Amino acid sequence: MVTNKLKFNKVNLNLIDEYSKRINSEFKDGKIGYFHLPKSDLSNLNELSEFSKKFSEFVVVGMGGSSLGIKAVFGLLENDKKVHFLDNLDICLCEKVLNSINFKKTLFFIISKSGTTIETITIFKFIIDKFSVKDFSKNFIFITDGDSNLEKFGLEHGIKTFNIPKNVGGRFSVLSAAGLVPFTCFGFDVKEILDGANACAREFFIEKNDNILQKAYHYTTHKSAKINVIFSYGSKFEYFNEWYIQLWAESLGKKREYKRLGLTPVALIGSKDQHSFLQLIMDGVKDKTVTFIKVKADTKEKSASNLSFKYLESCDFVNGFNMSEILNLQCDATMQAIINEGISVDSLELECLDEWHIGYLLYYYMLLTSVTGIMLNINTYNQPGVEIGKRLLKTLLIRG
């Protein structure tokens, strides 16, 4: 179960009714593909678990939405898989990862929606070069749009190739093949991930839980607070935080005609960042909302310590509690302190960190992003602003 508690006032349903209709009609018209991914047919993944058993390590090559969702789930789920991410055109990163692996025992995922992401293809060619690969079909899997040039290349070389549906954008693709194919190979329960996502969809579209609408309405009407902080308690959320930043920033930072719109994501880890960004939230300009994310403490975990040392007695007040309990109480205390400052806060509590809850959380954030985009009256699903830099790069290189 995921419990979302809004610590700010809800508005009258009339105010959000029009938006509710719009998101419901978007859901029905089928143009936005990610909505329906939780109902995907998984039969094409069946053979993968067997195939992937041949490998002891995995390397994911993908930029932005082609790796962030995979990293998020990989980070959140307790697992002992050796997975490396080549998500930057960085020679030190590439050398470090590729020098550490046993090539023959490694399965590579080359993921690019367009099929021609310059960083991804360059790293792919770098790998081919480095290991003098002759037969591409053995340990590469391609995930790309149907009909992309990468798919054509893959088919010609007998490479296992999976498609991201055309109407699913990169940053909304974690529940498509872009996520499910690697998850299956890592041994994660993809059915459970989709079930969790589906539960979130059902609560919103069928049971008409209005929290997401209320939250998006709050974010888009409180014009003084244009920074949306998530404060995730637990180091496992680090990559999830990165995924949220892309989703929020790239979806909501848009021009509408000549007007610039957008909300800025900030993502923190508790309790760690209580020693960092928190001071700015507490005493700085009130331009932020904060969402606290926490996971119920495991009661079976043993207490952190019951030791008491001379001179350090002032730290004994946590004795008898386990680390997860202390972490959650830190979350509660910080939340209360921020509420006391009059800052808009809500909390998301997950029963535990398993596939189901992660699927729910991912869908929750994609849905929140869609609804917020509708309220800002922008195109949530494109990214026109990053094209200019790509064109300039070509000019510089050709001139270079």
Which are the catalytic amino acids?
250, 275, 390
Q: Let me know: does 151 contact 115? Beta carbons within 8 Å.
A: yes
8 A C-beta contact, residue 7 and residue 346: yes
DSSP H or E run through 140: strand 140-145
**Most distant CA atoms of the chain, gap in Å:** 71
Smallest separation, CB 377 to a second copy (Å): 14
**Beta 140-145 vs 259-261: how paired, if at all?**
unpaired
Q: C-beta of 198: minimal distance to a second copy in Å? A: 27
Residue with smaller CB distance to a second copy, 374 or 378 = 378
Q: Which is nearer to a second copy, 22 or 226 (CB)?
A: 226
Nearer to a second copy, 176 or 198 (CB): 176
The β-bridge partners of 289 are 228
Q: At what angle do helices 177-186 and 190-201 cross, to 10 degrees?
A: 140
230: enclosing H helix or E strand: strand 227-233
Closest separation between CB of residue 368 and a second copy, Å? 16
Q: Which is nearer to a second copy, 49 or 276 (CB)?
A: 276
Enclosing H/E stretch for 395: helix 387-399
How far is residue 380's CA from residue 215's CA, in Å, rounded to a whole number?
17
Take residue 99 and report the two structure tokens written for it. 């020098």
CA torsion through residues 147, 153, 157, 162, sign: negative
Nearer to a second copy, 57 or 242 (CB): 242
Name the minimum Å distance from CB 51 to a second copy.
24
Return the closest-CA partner of residue 19 out of 363, 373, 362. Answer: 373
d(CA 317, CA 331): 17
Burial profile 104-121: b = 16 or more Cβ within 10 angstroms, e = fewer: eebbbbbbbbbbebebbb
- Rg (the chain; Cα; Å): 22
Q: In angstroms, what is the minimal distance from the CB of 200 to a second copy? A: 23
Q: For residues 191 and 286, which CB has a smaller minimum distance to a second copy in the complex?
A: 286
Closest CA to 330 of 5, 338, 286: 338
Smallest distance, Å, CB 153 to a second copy? 4
Minimum separation from the CB atom of position 176 to a second copy (A): 17
Q: CA 143 to CA 147: how far, in whole Å?
A: 12
Side chain identity, residue 111: I
Smaller CB separation from a second copy, 56 or 235: 235
- The two three-digit tokens of residue 301, written as one number: 């975990």
